[in-house]
Chain A
Amino acid sequence: MSNGQNSSITTRNIVTVAILASLGGSLSTFVGYLGNLINLSLGVPFGAGQFMAGLHVFWLILIRVIVAKRGTGTMGGLLKGLVELFTGSTHGLVIVAVSMVQGLLIDLGAEIAGTPHNNSNISRLTWWLSAGVAAASNVFVLQAFYFSGAHWILLTVIALLAFCSGVIFAGYFAWETLEFLKDSRVLSNSFSSTSPFPVSRKRVTYRNLPAIALIIFITVGSLYYTVAVAQVFSDPYSCKVTGLVENPYTYSPQAFVGQEVTVQAELQGVNIHLDPANYTGILLSTILEAAIPMAETTGVRIVARDGYTILLDLDEVMTDTHLLLTEVEDGLWLIASNYDGALWIRMVITLEVY
């Protein structure tokens, strides 16, 4: 049983997965309650509850380590999700998806970490990191369902909160729990030999110090990276030029220095009126010309970061000398002085010729 990764799954294994998934599902209301308490104590309506996200992954880690067979993480995640679905979780089927993705990530992490038998700090670190990643994944799955269009900085912050929660509760605390369970002798025969940690009376904290230090390093590092460095790569002042063009490219104002045009424009919306002002930027026709639209193309689809999309006639665009992309704090704006206010677009990210 020492390296039971591939041996067939026993009734005891199945029962263990089912019982832990069931308990995890049962306690998810309690976890939600704790999350609400934290929201309340911080005075925010939601979000801080993500600090409890790791407690959902906690069960999957327990399952994967205790049963120690390939795929039990996913199985546990699926089961826990189904249990929550059947008890009327407010997120319905979505919770099954969230939970199963978490299980899958844990299984993946377990593969990388090697046998739970392996006692090295690297192995433990891998487990803890995959716990963090699994906890953070819920943010992205939920985002895909409900918060599409959310700003990436917001997402990153919440995901990082969930990640830390995963490392703390599904990593550190899960290890403490495993040690406790072993000590309580409730995990009989089969588990004792596949223990992921040495038998020692030293406190969990001290033994895990190197892992904790590394995790802190990685967390702080990735925070720094996302806030400071990543911004350079996902430049808000850039926009893809694609579709039926000979030369698709990513537009950035720096490449067109010297070709700026300044126009005076006035926004005339139903409920908004912006007084005539001067806008400087690159004409849309200049940008599209650089991509060389193919013959027989008729229009251009302009897409904003929030999904807003408009269609313009290509011929009109190419002859319009007042239609330009200008740089504003939050990205590229389409200044469409000859058009209705609804066609002034903020945060343009794609120009697609069709």
Chain B
Amino acid sequence: MLEVHDVSFSYDNEKLILDSVNLQIRRGEITVITGPTGSGKSTLALALAGFIPRVIEGAFTGSLLIDGENVEKYLISEIARKVALVQQDPESQISTLLVSDEVAFGPENYSVAPSEIQKRVEVFLNAVKSSHLANRPTYALSGGEKQRVTIASMLAGKPDFLLLDEPSASLDPKGIQQLQKVLLGFKNSGYGILCIEHRLATILPVADRVLRLSKGKISRWSGKTSSAKTTPVEHFRRPDSAEPLLIAKGVSYSYGTISAVRDVTLSVYPGEIVALMGDNGSGKSTLVNLLAGLLHSTDGITYIDGVPSIEMAAQDVAARVAVVFQNPNHQIFERTVQREQYLIFDVLDSLDEAPSERPEEVLLAAGLANLKERNPFSLSHGQKRRLNVSSVTVHEPLVYLFDEPFIGQDEIGRNFITQTIRKRGESGGAAILVTHDSSVATSLCNRIIFMERGSVLLDGPPKIVLDRLGEIGYGEYADLGVMS
């Protein structure tokens, strides 16, 4: 049994992140901890894995026990042999170039004999259903594959307890189902498992017990999902006379020899809010970049507001299209929130004509009005995301293209982004959002485009598309209709 007794922790000696927490993780059981963003879930995982107080500084009190023994005197490398932590972003946790090297990394450090290491690499890759990846370079893996390799590499040190922080965050519905199977397998082989999960529904089917962490305290989870009621959007009728805002005609794109988008033809009309769905790697993000005129298709042609995008200058594109990419850090350029918000007017040389109230109003709606002088990179993930949305839509371009905008958002952020998208649709513009979340697709969107291996598989009203998906073997998209 892995347990913490009366653990309190603060990074800065002021704000208490964990407040006398007691928790026990038993072997052969999957424990899930849920709670709002910023409630200290990740901090708790770091304490359970012994990183707090050994590697991470701060004010720590309380004790960590493994099978009843207080491990206060243990080094981190000794605790790590018993407890393994898989952090949120698998990408950042891979340290080697080859999958088998990655799994071997732990045992190598503990000077395990090479023949035994070889055995472990095979066993644990097999346990995460990834034996076929052994000789692949790590950078060429998909998000789900990276995560499974990371789990295998943690288990190769043969710990008894496995802690996972937001394991479903970057997974598509297929990946989530695979993860559930893998975790069940580990539970049955006797591991004690703790999952920290914000999207509770993704892990609920395999959970033995669910706890809630809020304001540094653990409590029993009440069983209520916080997901808002979903009211399907009324059926949308495209005005007959309207000209499409975005057009793709026979568009293809490949990265070197790998084809990402194949022969896509579609039009997006004023008033449409489109959910762009599909498995990871199906070409959604590439299609967004093509439609936004940011990548030039290898074949076919795209139009923005009637003009071929290849003929448009960067400023003209920016004036008409707003794009939000997946990683918020990649699209912040200025040194204060305020300057970031006004950047587009500077670029478009319309700083003088900038409407005086609008930028401030948008910041206020995004909940960032009191952070104007802050360095935007110092904001929380959710705040950064809202700044991304607010700074690309402040000049009200015609079309919004958002790639997974809801990941890591709490209620405020979710509402702000939803409202931003809805308003654009109502005022004669259009929006496309990439999402795995079918409840978003049904509650916010009036059209779903579903992609498979670079091509459009289905395109139509949400209800019809989702029903059809169930029939053709993509049932997980309908089943896992949870708020992300």
Identify the A interface with B (CB < 8 A): 12, 180, 183-186, 189
Contact = CB atoms under 8 A, between A and B. Distances in A.
B56 A184 contact: no
B369 to A, nearest CB: 20
* Chief secondary structure at chain A's binding surface: helix
B375 A184 contact: yes
Contacts of B335: 180, 183
Given A180-B375, A184-B375, A184-B378, 6 more contacts: A12-B55, A183-B335, A183-B378, A185-B375, A185-B377, A186-B378
A121 to B, nearest CB: 24
A238 to B, nearest CB: 55
A183 B377 CA distance: 8
Q: Which of A12, A183, A184, A186 has the most CB of B within 10 A?
A: A184
B243 interface: no
* Chief secondary structure at chain B's binding surface: loop
B57 interface: yes
Nearest to A180: B335
A185 B378 contact: yes
A62 to B, nearest CB: 16
5 contacts: A183-B378, A184-B377, A185-B378, A186-B377, A189-B56
A29 B55 CA distance: 36
Nearest to A15: B95
A189 B378 contact: no
A189 B11 CA distance: 9
A185 B56 CA distance: 15
Interface of B: 55-57, 335, 375, 377-378
A183 B375 contact: yes
B114 to A, nearest CB: 23
Nearest to A190: B57
A189 B12 CA distance: 10
Nearest to B55: A12
Nearest to B373: A201
Nearest to A183: B375
A180 B377 CA distance: 9
B330 to A, nearest CB: 13
A184 B378 CA distance: 4
Nearest to A10: B55
B57 A189 contact: yes
Contacts of A12: 55
A14 to B, nearest CB: 10
A183 B57 CA distance: 19
Contacts of A183: 335, 375, 378
Contacts of B377: 184-186
Contacts of A185: 375, 377-378
B261 to A, nearest CB: 26
B283 to A, nearest CB: 25
B54 to A, nearest CB: 11
A185 B12 CA distance: 13
Contacts of B56: 189
Nearest to B57: A189
B375 to A, nearest CB: 4
Nearest to B95: A15
Contacts of B55: 12
A90 B224 CA distance: 61
A157 to B, nearest CB: 35
A12 B55 CA distance: 9
Nearest to A186: B377
A183 B337 CA distance: 13
A185 B335 CA distance: 13
Contacts of A189: 56-57
Nearest to A12: B55
Nearest to B376: A184
A183 B56 CA distance: 20
A189 B56 CA distance: 8
Nearest to A1: B57
Nearest to A185: B378
A189 B335 CA distance: 21
A52 B335 CA distance: 23
A186 B377 CA distance: 8
A184 B329 CA distance: 11
B110 to A, nearest CB: 15
B201 to A, nearest CB: 32
B61 to A, nearest CB: 19
Contacts of B375: 180, 183-185
A185 B377 CA distance: 8
Closest 3 CB pairs of A and B: A184-B377, A183-B375, A185-B378
B106 to A, nearest CB: 14
Nearest to A201: B373
A180 B378 CA distance: 10
A5 B427 CA distance: 61
A189 B55 CA distance: 11
B376 to A, nearest CB: 8
A185 B383 CA distance: 14
A189 B52 CA distance: 13
